[in-house]
Amino acid sequence: MNTDYSVDELQFMGQVREWFEANLPADLKRKCELGVPLNKDDYVSWGRILNSNGWAAISWPEEYGGAGWTATQKHIFEQVSYETGAPLVYESGVGMLGPVLLEFGSEAQKARYLPRILNFDDFFVLVDGEEVDFDE
């Protein structure tokens, strides 16, 4: 993989870094630095902060509220996110359900659910289907 960035990509990297430094809440950054598990409120809060800048779903097309970025821009975003100590976006909604709706959902389903997923109004979790014996 070529990691030589163009002038535009380096400028983009600087903008992303500047945004993270200005918008990442100190308490959330500290939790991440200490390895403290994040709770639902942390993920919802951070997701909404990202969404306020159009960055909650960087792989989605712009017409549905995504960033519409190139693969290199997504890589830069994730790299800067890691370097600045930001948490990852909670993936069940924007990373799992959203792409399925984008591919297979009707326009009515997209209109109903995608904005709610982007703003973390609905919070989805992936549940393991294995049986669990709670008596053990």
Residue 135 lies in a domain: no
- Is the predicted pLDDT of residue 22 greater than 80, yes or no? yes
Could you give the C-alpha distances from 7 to 10, 13, 20, 21, in angstroms and in order? 5, 10, 20, 21
Distance CA 8, CA 12 (A): 6
Q: pLDDT tens digits for 62-101?
A: 999 999 999 999 999 999 999 999 998 888 888 899 999 9
CATH of residue 54's domain is 1.10.540.10
Residue 24 lies in a domain: yes
Tell me the pTM.
Answer: 0.84
Residue 82 lies in a domain: yes
The angle subtended at Cα 46 by Cα 7 and Cα 55, nearest 5°, is: 35
